[in-house]
């Protein structure tokens, strides 16, 4: 027999669970970015165990960015990491090898919400990236059934597409002089959430890679990017290889800061420890 008041207890519990599921089913990375909150993450270039996400979340990071452009990660590994990312409510960003329809569709359908797309040189390319990342009427993302991208929930198609469009976050990388020649046009593209640059590839394209003035030149391009992002309501994402550099990127206007990579952090920490242990 149902105890007095138990119906209300189950009702409250059901509402609590629904609220919790709604929270988990939202992209925390995108909502923080929209509020202008500073987020600190790191690159993952080598460690392919999904368990690295648990460790990095415990370290206090806000997100992790996994690299598929210069690293050996497979789609199967990314799928496992995306599933754990959602379960942990710890945002994962993926840089695909290219901003093509195939890569965008596969990654989003695998359950990845956040893409960091390299080598966007023209407004036409930016439009293509935005188009492939969102369903109609905002774009022409290929339709798929329920799966990891819907947390295996079957929803009415209009509800599904609207929710997916609202949760996807797209950052594009400007890595050439050609891209900066079209900076305002690229920054104005709807469906692009954030702008960044690739400092080494940009320096290479500008002919200053390895020269004494490399840092000065790249910083000038960073400032140009920040100004364009402000004009067009985009967020700014920058890479930093030190604590001081991270602070400078935030002062410059970045709200998404990727501090170093797990490879560099591990090597530097062990190298410093070994040197100290052997010190006589």
pLDDT beyond 60 at 244: yes
Overall size of the chain counted in residues: 280
Q: How confident is the model at residue 122 (pLDDT cuts 50, 70, 90)?
A: very high
What's residue 270's pLDDT? 97
What's residue 17's pLDDT? 36
Rounded mean pLDDT, 173-195? 98
pLDDT more than 90, % of the chain: 84
Q: How confident is the model at residue 151 (pLDDT cuts 50, 70, 90)?
A: confident
What's residue 107's pLDDT? 98
Residues 81-90 have pLDDT tens digits of 999 999 999 9
What's residue 155's pLDDT? 82
pLDDT beyond 50 at 27: yes
- CATH number for the region 31-278 comes to 3.20.20.60
pLDDT beyond 60 at 269: yes
Rounded mean pLDDT, 9-31? 57
pLDDT beyond 80 at 172: yes
What's residue 146's pLDDT? 77
- Active-site residue list: 70
pLDDT beyond 80 at 15: no
What's residue 145's pLDDT? 75
pLDDT beyond 80 at 1: no
What's residue 153's pLDDT? 83
What's residue 156's pLDDT? 87
What's residue 137's pLDDT? 94
Q: What are the extents of the domains in the chain?
A: 31-278
Rounded mean pLDDT, 22-36? 84
What's residue 198's pLDDT? 97
pLDDT beyond 90 at 18: no
Residues 31-62 have pLDDT tens digits of 999 999 999 999 999 999 999 999 999 999 99
What's residue 83's pLDDT? 96
What's residue 77's pLDDT? 97
């Amino acid at each position: 027999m149902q105890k007095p008041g138990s119906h209300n207890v189950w009702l409250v519990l059901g509402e609590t669970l629904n609220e919790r599921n709604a929270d988990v089913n939202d992209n925390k990375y995108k909502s923080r970015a929209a509020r202008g909150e500073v987020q600190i993450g790191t690159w993952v270039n080598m460690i392919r165990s999904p368990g690295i996400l648990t460790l990095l979340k415990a370290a206090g990071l806000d997100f992790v960015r996994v690299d598929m452009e210069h690293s050996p990660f497979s789609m199967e590994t990314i799928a496992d990491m995306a599933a754990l990312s959602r379960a942990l409510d710890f945002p994962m960003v993926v840089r695909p090898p290219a901003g093509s329809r195939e890569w965008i569709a596969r990654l989003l359908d695998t359950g990845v919400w956040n893409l960091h797309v390299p080598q966007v040189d023209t407004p036409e390319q930016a439009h293509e990236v935005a188009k492939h990342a969102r369903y109609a009427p905002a774009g022409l993302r290929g339709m798929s059934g329920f799966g990891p991208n819907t947390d295996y929930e079957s929803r009415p198609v209009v509800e599904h597409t609207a929710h997916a469009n609202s949760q996807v976050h797209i950052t594009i990388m400007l890595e050439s002089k050609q891209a900066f020649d079209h900076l305002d046009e690229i920054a104005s593209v709807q469906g692009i959430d954030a702008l960044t640059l690739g400092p080494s590839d940009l320096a290479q394209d500008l002919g200053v890679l390895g020269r004494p003035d490399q840092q000065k030149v790249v910083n000038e391009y960073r400032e140009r990017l920040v100004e364009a992002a402000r004009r067009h309501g985009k967020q700014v994402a920058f890479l930093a290889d030190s604590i001081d550099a991270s602070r400078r990127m935030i002062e410059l206007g970045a709200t998404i800061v990727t501090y170093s990579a797990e490879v560099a952090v591990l090597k530097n920490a062990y190298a410093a420890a070994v040197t100290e242990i052997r010190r006589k």
